[in-house]
């Protein structure tokens, strides 16, 4: 996979309205507004008290799908209050920069995938290469406490230290 910097025009955005878990009661200083929201909920208005989720999706040339998300809870959109509900949601998304946040999250996912797949030279002569994922797997097999967020350099050092430790304990013997 080649490193890519995504733009809004490269991705597909979707918007979902999900039920809000937190109670509307006590959320506003205006009890009358809370009563309006509860009344709208009782007649089935999901948008009366909800969470907005914006998803940015992109399909890599190899067919792998990647997604980034941004969400905003505690939203209330009441029909006819200021403008139609769909317009209110669109304004909320724009006002909070949710598309940009979802795109940033997507970019982090794509960058992380690139780092996991990027070949890493293990020998100075370049005879053997491995991906970062390979190094993580090798570290885990050797008993190194590793995680995907570790840098390649840190992985190399941790693996080398563990190999030295195992050699000193006599648990492994170098082939050369």
Kindly report, residue by residue over 77-132, the tens digit of the pLDDT.
987 666 888 999 999 999 999 999 999 999 999 988 887 776 665 566 655 567 77
- Nearest Cα residue to 20 out of 69, 76, 73: 73
pLDDT for the residue 82: 67
Taking the CB of residue 23, how many other CB atoms lie within 10 A of it?
Answer: 10
Q: Tell whether the model's pLDDT for residue 65 goes beyond 90.
A: yes
pLDDT for the residue 132: 77
**pLDDT higher for 144 or 5?**
5
> What's the pTM?
0.67
pLDDT for the residue 67: 96
Burial class (CB in 10 A: 0-12, 13-18, 19+), 172: middle
3-state helix, strand, coil in the chain (%, to 5): 45, 20, 35
pLDDT for the residue 43: 92
Average pLDDT of the residues of the chain: 87
């Amino acid at each position: 996979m080649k490193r890519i910097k995504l733009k809004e025009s490269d991705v597909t955005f979707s918007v979902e309205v999900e039920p809000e878990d937190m109670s509307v009661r006590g959320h506003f200083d205006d009890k009358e507004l809370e009563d309006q929201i509860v009344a709208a909920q009782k007649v089935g208005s999901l948008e009366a008290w909800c969470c907005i989720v914006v998803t940015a999706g992109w399909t890599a040339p190899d067919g792998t799908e990647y997604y980034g998300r941004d969400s905003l809870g505690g939203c209330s959109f009441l029909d006819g209050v200021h403008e139609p509900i769909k317009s209110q949601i669109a304004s909320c998304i724009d006002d909070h920069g949710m598309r940009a946040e979802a795109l940033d999250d997507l970019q982090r996912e794509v960058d992380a995938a690139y780092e996991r797949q990027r070949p890493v030279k293990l020998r100075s002569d370049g005879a053997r290469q491995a991906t970062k994922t390979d190094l993580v797997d090798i570290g885990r097999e050797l008993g190194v406490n590793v995680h995907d967020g570790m840098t390649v350099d840190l992985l190399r050092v941790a693996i080398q230290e563990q190999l030295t430790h195992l050699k000193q304990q006599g648990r492994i013997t170098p082939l050369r």
